[in-house]
Structure 1
Amino acid sequence: MNSHSATDDLHLLTRLLPSHIKAALARQEPAELLEIILDLGRPPQARYLHAAIDLSEHPVNREDLGAVVRAVGEFGADNRAGIESTLHRVSAIRNRRGDVIGLTLRVGRAVSGTIDLIRDLIESGKSTLLLGRPGVGKTTKLREVARVLADDFGKRVVIVDTSNEIAGDGDIPHPAVGGARRMMVASPDRQHAVMIEAVENHMPEVIVVDEIGTLDEAMAARTIAERGVQLIGTAHGNTLDNLVGNPTLSDLVGGVQTVILGDDEARLRGTQKTISERKAAPTFDAVVEIVSRREVIAHPDAARAVDNLLRGHPARGVRRGLSEPDEADGDSAADPSPADTGPEPRVFPAQGDRPVRVYAYALSRDLVDRAIRDLRIQARTVKFPDQADLVLTLRAREDDPKLSRLVDRSQVGVHGVKKNTTAQLRSLLASLFNIVHGQDQAEVDDMVRETEQAVREVKAGGVKAELDPRPSTLRRLQHRIVTRHGLVAESVGVEPERRLVIYPV
């Protein structure tokens, strides 16, 4: 199934806000809201996928913060609070005196259809570890995993729920987790103890746990796996490479030890005498890197993937993706991925410093303007297609005879979105302008030029090309550029020298 559905009870979160902030928020698009930021002395913000919109010109004051704090009630030891019967979370920032000077109101959504890409791993009984940057949707997937295993397969599932992140606030778990049982954790430093308690006291077949981040928690996870209990968890780290290099958490995938080889053995292997090897069997049988809501890299055999990395080879994970983009599907954020929207990446603007001119056909020009403002790109909308550098339209209208005549005259590219929403327009424009969240745009543009030049050389000469080392976020964009040109590529080497090699077909 490729369709997602989400429920969020957003009104229960926004009712905590002072009336003037709530009124400003009501003028924005609620379906794509990720969180609301209230920082003392700064304008209140609504944060979406890759944009932050100021809700007011007036800065947040202590009265605004106090009103929200009183409405929320008591915060836990981790400065988090929940809202009864919802998945929303309110987190506080305090000064040295303990006064609240900032609040993050995070939208939690119950989403179905988020584990289609990894369902085979979950159903196989393998212990599976989910990785990904903060906000990419790991916790959202844990909720559905718990529900599917408890309701569809009738397994005894126990959720170890630190800060009530997975099953919501209140004594009764949120319906999103189905028949899974939930054990609360009084404070984050008790998570490892509750994990062991769950196994010893409640005979689970599956344990679900979020944010394994300490050595004690990693050891507890190994204890659970060794008792034959399926473990589904998340950990700090974006990729398997990150995890292998993390001395605290590498035990989750078998750990790393240094081995000194004899001269003959080193010559036989073709390596140096001092090498790194996996120390033990992985706690988790499979590892999944969550790239975005619609794309993951699966490592069904974690042991083999780690061994490959330690030998300097690619982990050889399997990239899995959904074919059609949907609306925002949970309490997660994702990079606006070129793979999600279809058009081949281009570097804009093409005419010096002149803004790129965009014509909206069968789309709301106001929404296009908003997406341009949100992304802060050098572009503007125009009234007529003969003034445009590119045309945006709905996919269903790409073959309109009228549009075809307009494009034939102006000779500009047409790029489509599935639905007329700001989120999809932002994603499309981010793809066209090669915007990668968290990266310097100059570096992104340099990377795109390098990749496209290498593609041309590979096509012309029929020989492979090796690119400069890049961060994983940029390598993913390089992979997409190469794929759209009909070539293949793989990442080789170890961070920070990991790089892409493009091969002719």
Structure 2
Amino acid sequence: MLPAELQTALHRLPLDELLEVVMDLGRPPEARFPERVVRLAERPVTHEELAHVTALTGEFGDDNRAGIERTLHRISAIRNRKGQIVGLTLRVGRAVHGVIEILRDLVESGQSILILGRPGVGKTTKLREMARVLADDVGRRVIVIDTSNEIAGDGDIPHPGIGDARRMQVPRVDRQHAVMIEAVENHMPEVIIVDEIGTEAEAAAARTIAERGVQLIGTAHGTTLENLIKNPTLSDLVGGVQVVTLSDEEARRRRTAKTVSERRAPPTFEIVVEMVDRDEVIVHRDTAAAVDAILRGFAPRGERREQGADGQVHVRDEEPLLADTPPPPMAELAERRGPVRIYPYALSRDLLERVIRGLGLDARTVGGPDQATLIIALRSRADDLRLKRIVDAGEASLHFIKRNTANEMRRLLERIFHLMGGEEDDLLAGVIRETEEGIRRALEEGVAVELAPQRPALRKMQHRMIAGQGLVAESVGREPERRLVIQPLRDE
């Protein structure tokens, strides 16, 4: 498909590692590999070269995607305001066998599975292999809903990568939900596989399919279960979220605020898989329990699976605490002038700032590692050479979290700011016990509870604990005898 000059340049490169070729009008063409980008020519791409490529592809759909018949390659177009193509992304598609061994037991269980993960992590490749295994090895009736012909390739004849599974093409992107329902009503499938569930109508269709007893395997936009719960369009896939106002009696019994978030319905998908990397996943075997835990403010304990180079799958439960190195004691942080300066390396700075505000910490984010006293990064980047150079060049301490979520950040920061060690640790434990007992009395007995005097940092922590249960605390007295009084709930 490519102009001869680009073909010649590509043949000098390791094609088995090629991810995609990018051709943008007026810019040099590029070949992208997992760890690098290579220019294929120094001169810019022309209109004629773009026309040459598009003339050899299939027809572009409403989603600006096209393919090459009987292959898995995908060509995506960028258009100007007049609808003319001014850029192309030519992604290499490969059918890879053996990529679902890490999930094979779940796939063969008959339960519905939702796969989450960032773009390019291999979700569609796994769907294709799941279709082949279920149709050929397990002998089930499988139908693939192929909106962009990305699972089974372009053209009328499906790519052999899906085995004996049948494929239904979708005429327009906005008709995917209708084809999903049509597949169930007309073709008696035992399994339906669908890529990129992204609209409310598709989420509703997925629930309809699951309620009819058909195993549904699909992917959705989002990287973690927590992201999905916060997405109002797609949260229904995992049961949805509703806000419930409790009576005073029920709030006291639960020891919660009067207004709480709860799961609205049973999840459409019994299992949720978060793809960390191509060979590493986190499995939530009970979606309902995981969602309930998140809504209550806890991090769900997933099952981490990794497939080694030898093909062996290693399974272990996630650890509740996520720091590879012990965080510095709070006393050490307090000796440094001003707020603790935190640099999020390849993490969401906005999310980290919200967590800091929510915890009421004396900390702030900074835009560069040279200004930081703490650096937080993903554990998957532990071998990142740039990160190692940053840490070696400065004095900031490095701490890892497993996922870029508020729960992970919150748990790490609470550990950093509250772990004191020795006698200080015993003091903290005693303060927590006293505060919890005071909260219990205020809720169950309906009385005001006066706590023992504490220094400001511990009073701030007590305030957060009390507010988290829907109660109010007042500060009384003067330093060093200043203390909190927990006020009971008042009937409206």
Q: 1:60 maps to what in 2?
A: 45
CA contact (8 A) 2:401 2:408 kept: no
Aligned partner of 2:398 among 447, 450, 461: 450
User: Does the C-alpha gap of structure 1 residues 51 and 325 become closer, same or farther in structure 2, counting only changes over 3 Å?
Assistant: farther
Q: Does 1:272 align with 2:265?
A: no
Q: 1:163 maps to what in 2?
A: 148
User: What is the CA-CA distance between 1:146 and the residue it aligns to?
Assistant: 0.5
User: Does the C-alpha gap of structure 1 residues 495 and 316 become closer, same or farther in structure 2, counting only changes over 3 Å?
Assistant: closer
The amino acid of 1:206's aligned partner reads V
CA contact (8 A) 2:58 2:68 kept: no
**Greater length-normalized contact order (CA 8 Å, ≥ 6 residues apart):** 1
User: What is the CA-CA distance between 1:325 and the residue it aligns to?
Assistant: 7.4
Q: 1:253 maps to what in 2?
A: 238
User: Does the C-alpha gap of structure 1 residues 247 and 498 become closer, same or farther in structure 2, counting only changes over 3 Å?
Assistant: farther
Structure 2 gap ranges (5+): 312-323, 326-379, 422-492
CA distance in 2, matches of 1:94, 1:256: 38
Q: Does 1:476 align with 2:402?
A: yes
CA distance in 2, matches of 1:141, 1:149: 12
Aligned partner of 1:150 among 103, 114, 135: 135
CA contact (8 A) 1:159 1:207 kept: yes
Q: 1:21 maps to what in 2?
A: 6
Deviations 1:444-477 (A, max 9, x none): 99998232xxxxxxxxxxxxxxxxxxxxxx6228
CA contact (8 A) 1:38 1:103 kept: yes
Structure 1 gap ranges (5+): 1-15, 327-343, 346-426, 436-440, 452-473, 479-490
| TM-score when normalising by structure 2 | 0.67
User: What is the CA-CA distance between 1:429 and the residue it aligns to?
Assistant: 10
CA contact (8 A) 1:208 1:232 kept: yes
User: What is the CA-CA distance between 1:316 and the residue it aligns to?
Assistant: 0.9
CA distance in 2, matches of 1:284, 1:477: 22
User: What is the CA-CA distance between 1:24 and the residue it aligns to?
Assistant: 1.2
Farther-moved stretch of structure 1 (308-317 vs 47-56): 47-56
User: Does the C-alpha gap of structure 1 residues 444 and 238 become closer, same or farther in structure 2, counting only changes over 3 Å?
Assistant: farther
Deviations 1:167-220 (A, max 9, x none): 011111111101100000011100000000000000000000000000000000
User: What is the CA-CA distance between 1:284 and the residue it aligns to?
Assistant: 0.2
The amino acid of 1:449's aligned partner reads S
CA distance in 2, matches of 1:18, 1:206: 42
CA distance in 2, matches of 1:166, 1:153: 19
CA contact (8 A) 1:475 1:500 kept: no
CA contact (8 A) 1:296 1:320 kept: yes
Runs of 4+ aligned structure 1 residues displaced above 6 Å come to 441-448, 500-504
The amino acid of 2:384's aligned partner reads S
Farther-moved stretch of structure 1 (99-108 vs 257-266): 257-266
Aligned partner of 2:295 among 287, 296, 310: 310
Aligned partner of 2:89 among 90, 100, 104: 104
User: What is the CA-CA distance between 1:226 and the residue it aligns to?
Assistant: 0.3
- 1:212-251 to structure 2, matched below 5 A, reads 212-251=197-236
The amino acid of 1:64's aligned partner reads E
The amino acid of 1:132's aligned partner reads G
User: What is the CA-CA distance between 1:498 and the residue it aligns to?
Assistant: 5.9
The amino acid of 1:138's aligned partner reads K
Q: In percent, how many aligned pairs have the same letter? A: 61
Aligned partner of 1:287 among 246, 260, 272: 272
CA distance in 2, matches of 1:139, 1:168: 12
User: Does the C-alpha gap of structure 1 residues 184 and 316 become closer, same or farther in structure 2, counting only changes over 3 Å?
Assistant: same
User: What is the CA-CA distance between 1:143 and the residue it aligns to?
Assistant: 0.4
CA contact (8 A) 1:434 1:445 kept: no
CA distance in 2, matches of 1:316, 1:446: 34
User: What is the CA-CA distance between 1:73 and the residue it aligns to?
Assistant: 4.3
User: What is the CA-CA distance between 1:233 and the residue it aligns to?
Assistant: 0.2
Q: Secondary structure at the match of 1:450?
A: strand
The amino acid of 1:475's aligned partner reads I
| TM-score when normalising by structure 1 | 0.65
User: What is the CA-CA distance between 1:265 and the residue it aligns to?
Assistant: 2.0
CA distance in 2, matches of 1:285, 1:429: 32
Deviations 1:323-354 (A, max 9, x none): 2278xxxxxxxxxxxxxxxxx99xxxxxxxxx
User: What is the CA-CA distance between 1:60 and the residue it aligns to?
Assistant: 0.7
The amino acid of 1:434's aligned partner reads L
Q: Secondary structure at the match of 2:90?
A: strand
Q: Does 1:431 align with 2:391?
A: no
CA distance in 1, matches of 2:394, 2:263: 37
User: What is the CA-CA distance between 1:65 and the residue it aligns to?
Assistant: 0.7
CA distance in 2, matches of 1:179, 1:448: 56
User: What is the CA-CA distance between 1:267 and the residue it aligns to?
Assistant: 2.4
CA distance in 1, matches of 2:24, 2:156: 30
Aligned partner of 1:87 among 60, 64, 72: 72
- The number of residues matched between the two structures is 351
